Amino acid sequence: MSYEVELKFPVPDFRAFSQKLSDQAVLISPAQEEIDLYLAHPSRDFAKTDEALRLRRKGDANYVTYKGPKIDATSKTRREIELPLGPGAVSLASWTALLEAVGFRPAAEVRKSRRKATIPWQGREVEASLDEVDGVGTFVEFELQAEQSGVEAARNCIQSLAQSLGLTQGERRSYLELLLEGK
Amino acid sequence: MSYEVELKFPVPDFRAFSQKLSDQAVLISPAQEEIDLYLAHPSRDFAKTDEALRLRRKGDANYVTYKGPKIDATSKTRREIELPLGPGAVSLASWTALLEAVGFRPAAEVRKSRRKATIPWQGREVEASLDEVDGVGTFVEFELQAEQSGVEAARNCIQSLAQSLGLTQGERRSYLELLLEGK
């Protein structure tokens, strides 16, 4: 089983932060829009179980993602299963119809503009996502993949990178939670 | 919304029946094994609601299929949503894991050897499946696709074809139902 070890930080001055990365010769991708449809389970309260089922549209590509409960108190580490769906709007509509037929319901939509970067740190390649999230704010997410035995080391690596960039106050809540709490 | 209009008949003498079709210049494909994993819903009794959610492996290809309740008393007509999944055993295992994570449970497995044929009848092309189903028996399924307004006509067409082939006693129960009842 593979874990996504992820820590997220609010970035009040987004432009200055991006510039700081660029100054360190980190390449940042062009922005891509991601539209996430979160689904409510027919009989389980995902807010209480700390799970999520999500349909993501990224350009023409579609994905379904299951996120399990967070496995510790400080990071956003979860079990994650992400699978590609057929591309395009018709495929996404059919998947939505299938999931609705078995009782899932659209719960909320998160739209964001995301730029990706890979930051070398302590001999690892940390994936960074610079996110401008509609109705929520601006954030950076750091991510490493790890097996269960490597979760602690991956988290320490990310914490160290964040500190070096002047980020200290992590945000454990998801964009979905932040969006729903802000309403 | 598209409907699958389908009637199924037991075929006691499978070899003679196949020969009869061949004599009428109907081409029959080589046999292909299909393995269907039926899933139980986390909170809905699919046996009572007359629905099904199925993962199908056909050679290297994988599909997920939702089948809605039968819409009339004589045929097997249902709403059906079938979507392709990524190919191969790893993809199928990941899909099974994702569906289990949100509470679906493997309920039963139907294995069959299927040969396909297209039979011209009354100006339409009727899809026929000649099935040898492990632990159940030998059957032929006839199928036409129809919009809601064309369901009645499609059913009459299939009934007429079946009669011409000496088939009169339709079987409304699914292979899954027959398998579970036979145990």
- Distance (Å, whole) CA A89 – CA A105: 18
**Beta carbons of B43 and A103 less than 8 Å apart:** yes
- Distance (Å, whole) CA B91 – CA A70: 24
**Confidence at residue B29, expressed as pLDDT on a 0 to 100 scale:** 95
Please report which helix (H) or strand (E) contains residue A9, including its range.
Answer: strand A2-10
Please report which helix (H) or strand (E) contains residue A140, including its range.
Answer: strand A137-147
How many angstroms separate the Cα of A53 from the Cα of each of A33, A145, B155, B162?
Answer: 19, 20, 39, 45
Dump pLDDT digits (tens) for A118-136. Answer: 999 999 999 999 999 999 9
Q: Is the pLDDT of residue A1 over 70?
A: no
Q: How far is A103 from chain B (nearest CA, A)?
A: 9
Nearest-by-Cβ selection for B98 from A43, A83, A94: A83
B103 contact A CB<8A: yes
pLDDT over 90, % of chain B: 82
**Confidence at residue B148, expressed as pLDDT on a 0 to 100 scale:** 85
- Distance (Å, whole) CA B171 – CA B138: 12
**Beta carbons of B41 and A44 less than 8 Å apart:** no
Dump pLDDT digits (tens) for B119-134. Answer: 999 999 999 999 999 9
**Confidence at residue B75, expressed as pLDDT on a 0 to 100 scale:** 60
At residue B51, the 3 state secondary structure works out as coil
* Radius of gyration, CA atoms only, chain A: 17
**Beta carbons of B81 and A97 less than 8 Å apart:** yes
Q: Is the pLDDT of residue B153 over 90?
A: yes
Dump pLDDT digits (tens) for A37-94. Answer: 999 999 999 989 999 999 999 989 999 999 999 877 766 678 899 999 999 999 999 9
B25 contact A CB<8A: no
**Beta carbons of B84 and A86 less than 8 Å apart:** yes
Nearest-by-Cβ selection for B98 from A66, A91, A95: A66
**Confidence at residue A78, expressed as pLDDT on a 0 to 100 scale:** 80
Q: Is the pLDDT of residue A105 over 90?
A: yes
How many angstroms separate the Cα of B144 from the Cα of each of A9, A26, A97, B118?
Answer: 55, 57, 22, 11
B94 contact A CB<8A: yes
Q: Is the pLDDT of residue B2 over 80?
A: no
Nearest-by-Cβ selection for A81 from B42, B64, B101: B101
Nearest-by-Cβ selection for B81 from A44, A68, A94: A94
B85 contact A CB<8A: yes
Across A170-174, B1-5, B92-96, the highest mean pLDDT is recorded for B92-96
Q: Is the pLDDT of residue B8 over 90?
A: yes
Dump pLDDT digits (tens) for B41-90. Answer: 999 999 899 999 999 999 899 999 999 998 777 666 788 999 999 999 99
Scanning chain A, the segments in alpha helix (DSSP H) are 14-23, 46-49, 89-101, 151-164, 175-182
Please report which helix (H) or strand (E) contains residue B162, including its range.
Answer: helix B151-164
Give the global pTM: 0.77
Cβ proximity of B114 and B156 under 8 Å: no
Q: What is the mean pLDDT of chain A?
A: 93
**Confidence at residue A75, expressed as pLDDT on a 0 to 100 scale:** 60
Confirm whether the ipTM is greater than 0.85. Answer: no
Mean per-residue pLDDT, A3-26 = 92
**Confidence at residue B1, expressed as pLDDT on a 0 to 100 scale:** 65
Cβ proximity of B2 and B145 under 8 Å: yes
For A:33-52, CB contacts with B below 8 A are 41-44, 51
Instruction: Give A152's pLDDT tier (boundaries 50, 70, 90).
Output: very high
Q: Which of A33, A182, A29 is nearest to A115 (CA)?
A: A29
Cβ proximity of B11 and B141 under 8 Å: no
pLDDT over 70, % of chain B: 97
A1 contact B CB<8A: no
Polymer length in residues for chain A: 183
How many angstroms separate the Cα of B43 from the Cα of each of A39, A120, B20, B51, B66?
Answer: 16, 46, 46, 13, 16
Cβ proximity of A139 and A174 under 8 Å: no
Q: What is the DSSP string of B64-110?
A: EEEEEEESSSSS--EEEEEEEE-SSHHHHHHHHHHHHHTT-EEEEEE
B18 token code pair: 């196949």
Q: Which of B122, B121, B141, B123 is nearest to B131 (CA)?
A: B141
Q: What is the mean pLDDT of chain B?
A: 93
Q: What are phi and psi of A122, to 5 degrees?
A: 50, 45
